Amino acid sequence: MSLFQGINTSASALTANRLRLDTIASNIAQAETTRANFVDGAWQPYRRKMVELSPQTNGTFDNFLQAAVGTVSGSQGGQGVKVTAIQEDNTPFKRVFDPSHPDADQDGYLLMPNVDPMKEMVDMISASRSYEANVTALNASKSMMLKALEIK
């Protein structure tokens, strides 16, 4: 039974949370971008992106070995988390009246990205707390492995 699996599990979560933070940073950075995609001769504003997470449960050799040897009964533990997709938020764009803007339509209305900075801040705090919790778990793995090495 390997403690390294614990480190890999925490590492997968650190990577996933880093990607979440990067996505949120991108959303905030593009909150005012009106020219993200050029579709049918018109500029489309930036669409908010979201990270889709799912548990990583595909069996590893270690899992199958342990099930066969019978060192664990019941369902096998997972191997962390993985990012399955980066999805786009399909909520409608904000419509702002700004006739002086170069991308405004004939009526003077301008489409702005569907990014809500408040929502992004909440998600950012959530992602950074998850990152911290997983760093704690990683440190625990490290100190447990060092303790095991002290058996002599």
Partner 1 sequence: MLDSYHLQVLERSLDAATLRHRTIANNLANIDTPQFKSQQVIFESFLQDELDARAGNGKLEAYRTNQRHIPFGNAGGVAVPQIVSNPNNFIQNSGNDVDLEAETTELAKNQIWYSGLTQLTAGHFQKLRSVIEGGGK
Residues found near partner 1 in the complex (CB under 8 A): 1-3, 5-6, 9-10, 12-13, 16-17, 20, 53-55, 70-81, 126-127, 129-130, 133-134, 136-138, 140-141, 143-144, 147-148, 150-152
Phi/psi of residue 38, each to 5°? -105, 105
CB 82 within 8 A of CB 11: no
Tell which residue, 25, 4, 6, 7, has the closest CA to residue 128: 25
In the bound state with partner 1, the residue whose beta carbon lies nearer, of 21 and 28, is: 21
Closest approach of partner 1 to the CB of residue 104, in Å: 38
Residue 45 or residue 80: which is nearer to partner 1 going by CB? 80
Residue 85 C-beta: closest distance to partner 1, Å: 13
Taking residue 107's Cβ as centre, other Cβ atoms within 10 Å add up to 9
Least distance CB 41 / partner 1 (angstroms):
38
| Cβ closest to partner 1, residue 114 vs residue 141 | 141
The C-alpha angle 144, 6, 87, rounded to 5 degrees, equals: 145
Whichever of 58 and 75 has its CB closer to partner 1, that residue is: 75
Tell me how far, at minimum, the Cβ of 117 lies from partner 1, in Å. Answer: 20
d(CA 67, CA 134): 27
Residue 54: half-sphere exposure toward Cβ, Cα within 13 Å: 7
Residue the block writes with tokens 């801040």? 121
Q: Check if the beta carbon of residue 83 is closer than 8 Å to that of residue 143.
A: no
Measured from the CB of residue 66, what is the shortest distance to partner 1 in angstroms?
A: 9
Q: Toward partner 1, which CB reaches closer, 75 or 100?
A: 75
